[in-house]
Structure 1
Amino acid sequence: MYIYSKLIESETVVCDIRLDNAYNQEELVTESQVNETSERADIQSKSRYSSGFLMLETYFSIRKKVTDQFIVEGEHIQLSFFLNGKSRMMEPLQDSSCDLDIGIMRRNYFKDYHRNFDMRGGNEVNYVAIYLSSDFFRKLVEKEHWAAKDSLVQRVLKRDESGSNDEICAISLPVLKILQELFRSTYDGLHQRYFIELKLKELLFLSYVEHTQLDTTYKGLENTLYTTLEKVKAYLTTHFDNPPTIKQLSRMFSLNELKLKQGFKNLYGTTIYAYVIHLRMQQAEKMLLEDYSVNEMSSILGYRSVSHFISTYKKHFGYTPKQALKRISQSLPLFVAFLNGCLDHSL
């Protein structure tokens, strides 16, 4: 499998990596980075790869229009996550194009892949792309019971590339968490590879779950409205730290404000405001366990004051962040004692 990415106008190479397709669990993970500045754009890109897979996380700060030429040679499974910015995907061989929606996950199976991505000036673009060789993919899912029901897995097993359209769904908060773990983990040696394989398997399972949920009822909504609301939800999931107003959302997605609010409540059983609060509080719980201070959490989650964050947290959970930390500190000794007791008993 060969992965190549280049900004055409500046001749800047973002990725140029050739991988062995065979699954080899004993091969270490390699990491590489690209940090380039040109007249047209600043680029920060990070790759993690080994035999059978490559993960690419890229940020573009674009001053003048650029085109990212992307080529992947070889049979592979692709998972892509468009997290921010404006970009138009073009298929040169088929003379077709489409705008990429923020907060959307795409997955597909290709023999070869050639796309150009146009990105306009004054634009901040962030995406993650994961490429798995077919051999690596099969080894990863071969013992998973859910895989027998996954349409993508079945296409790969049958070597069926006829379904050329991407399978698309909204990126969820658990998916975002896995993406962060894939690029931030700091394990040594083979432990890093084992960890990445576990997280890739978890990511594939979540992508299967998200797609099966698309088959559920639209709750009386017409298909176009359902699709738009899914895009709204996806955008909020990736921008809950700085969410747009209802009026801004209405303009962004060309949807009447009343229809937007009523449709969102009808489909997801909650208001847009409550959904953003829910996302922030989920993230706050995770950050508490990672030793962030209350001040840091308040700032990162987009609150203008610490007191507002604390009052929102207490209203949501029934206790303050400080009280939550106290509960955690009190429960840890009990958990350690329980583990020690289990070890003593086993000995």
Structure 2
Amino acid sequence: MKIQSKLKELQCDLFSIDTSEVSEGTCIEEKIALDEPNCSAVSQIIYSTDFCLLKTVFDTKIGITDNFSITGEYIQLSYLTDGNPRILLNDTDSQLLKIGNLQLCFSKNTSAEIHMNEAMKFEYICIFFTKEFFIHLFRNASWYCGDSFFKKVARGEYSDLGKLQFPLNHTLHQLTQDLFKLTIEKHLKFHLLQLKFKEIFIHISNLSADNNLPKNLDISEDQYQKIKKVHAYVTLHFHRTPTLKELARMAILNELQLKTGFKKIYGITIRAYIIQLKMERSKSLLARYSVNETASILGYKSVSHFIQSFKKFYGTTPKQIIT
């Protein structure tokens, strides 16, 4: 499997990976940084003969085209965490990528043009598996080997990007982020990642089962899918504290529809969900940052407001947690 990112306007490669060059059962980790006057990018990459993990962040002041290509058969799991680029697949199929949509596809020898507008921040996470590794990983997993996507891969039936997608949830986002933070001996990382992949697909199976409108909800299918996308967006951008008005405009719903629909589906208000995510995140941040820094990272304009929210949520102050 070969994966390449070539930036057209800058006439340079961001990365070029050939997984066949890696020794069996080992992983290579790389961090690649590009710093040009009008464009910066950072890619964190972990790859073996069987898979490749990519986490890339762009910050560009000019329009940039990323000519992204994959050689060989592959399974792709990916989602966008920031930006709204347009992707052109194999010179035929153009689609606008949306934040928080988890995409799953099976394809071969793909070339894509990812178009980023000027003044855009763009961030994505991609996980690629070889077909052989994917089948080997899940063929004895009773909870997944009966899945329709797995059966298609086993039969060699391709499923293009955009055909199978779900709104991302907090658990899956955290699990994929954690793949890039594993601290373990190098000779054990390959094996730990296999376990992590299985955990991710357990949650994908659950997400797939939950993607249909429950019969007991007094809400339309269209509203249901729109609100799930809002939930995915908030999951990724809770630190920005998006307002109900902003989210309603994004979902093309009125504020009352969004407010009541969200509570019906998730059993919690949007505001309470944002606070919950901030508080859950704050514990890990406080292990590395001061109270002031943590409050700033989480989008609080006032440190005292953060401390008050923390105490209300946990029954203790941030300083007491630290000590």
Q: Give the distance between the partners of 2:110 and 2:188, measured in 1 at CA.
A: 31
- Aligned-partner Cα distance in 2 for 1:142–1:251: 44
Question: What displacement does 1:65 show?
Answer: 0.9
Q: Shift of the alpha carbon at 1:293?
A: 4.4
Is structure 2 residue 214 aligned with structure 1 residue 217? yes
* 1:164–1:55 CA distance, 2 compared to 1 (3 A): closer
Instruction: Tell me, yes or no, if structure 1 residue 98 matches structure 2 residue 95.
Output: yes
Match of 1:13 in 2: 13
- Determine the structure 2 residue equivalent to 1:329: none
The answer as to whether partners of 2:107 and 2:159 remain within 8 angstroms in 1 is no
4+ residue runs of structure 1 moved beyond 6 angstroms? none
- What is the distance in 1 between the residues matched to 2:132 and 2:95? 30
Counterpart of 2:227 in structure 1: which amino acid? L
Further displaced range: 108-117 or 229-238 = 108-117
Report the AA paired with residue 238 of structure 2. F
State yes or no: 1:76 paired with 2:74. Answer: yes
Q: How does 1:244-259 map to 2 (within 5 A)?
A: 244-259=242-257
Aligned residue for 2:143, secondary structure, equals: helix
Deviates more, 1:84-93 or 1:160-169: 160-169
Alignment of 1:311-330 (within 5 A): 311-322=308-319
Aligned identity (percent) is: 33
Q: Secondary structure at the match of 2:301?
A: coil
> Do the aligned partners of 2:103 and 2:161 also contact (CA within 8 Å) in 1?
no
2:3–2:69 CA contact under 8 A, matched in 1: yes
Asked whether the 8 Å contact 2:234–2:274 carries over to 1, the reply is yes
Matched with 2:53 is 55
Alignment match, 1:305: 302
- Cα distance change on mapping 1:286 and 1:149 into 2, 3 Å: farther
Relative to structure 1, the CA distance from residue 202 to residue 229 in structure 2 (aligned partners, 3 Å threshold; closer, same or farther) is same
Change (3 A) 1:100 1:132: same
Shift of 1:292: 4.9
Paired residue for 2:188? 191
1:38/1:292 CA distance change after superposition, 3 Å: closer
Q: Summarize the alignment of residues 1-347 of structure 1 with structure 2, pairs less than 5 Å apart.
A: 1-20=1-20, 26-93=24-91, 95-161=92-158, 165-217=162-214, 219-287=217-285, 290=287, 292-322=289-319
Distance in 2 (CA, whole Å) between partners of 1:181 and 1:15 is: 22
Sort the Cα spacing of 1:286 and 1:33 in 2 relative to 1 into closer, same or farther, 3 A. closer
Q: Is the 8 A contact 2:5 2:68 kept in 1?
A: yes
Q: Deviations over 1:173-203 (max 9, x none)?
A: 2222222221122323212222222222211
Amino acid across the alignment from 1:303: Y
**Following TM superposition, by how much is the alpha carbon of 1:298 offset from its aligned partner in structure 2, in angstroms?**
2.4
CA change 1:155–1:186 in 2 (3 A) is same
CA distance 1:224–1:21, change in 2 (3 Å)? farther
CA RMSD of aligned residues (A): 2.4
Mind listing any 5+ residue stretches in structure 2 that lack a counterpart? none
TM-score by length of 1: 0.84
Q: Letter of the 2:29 partner, please give it.
A: E
Whether the 8 Å CA contact 1:40–1:65 is kept in 2: the answer is no
Which moved further from structure 2: 185-194 or 238-247?
A: 185-194
In terms of Rg, which structure is larger? 1
Deviation at 1:60, TM superposition (A): 0.6
1:5 Cα deviation after fit? 1.5
Letter in 1 for 2:208: H
* Partners of 1:267 and 1:181 in 2: CA distance: 27
Cα deviation digits, residues 147-183 of structure 1 (max 9, x gap)? 1342222221222225764321122222222222211
SS at match of 1:160: coil
Q: Alignment partner of 1:225: what SS?
A: helix
1:322 to 1:145, Cα distance in 2 relative to 1, 3 A: farther
Q: Which runs of 5+ in 1 are unaligned?
A: 327-347
CA distance in 2, matches of 1:275, 1:78: 30
TM-score, with normalisation over the residues of structure 2? 0.90
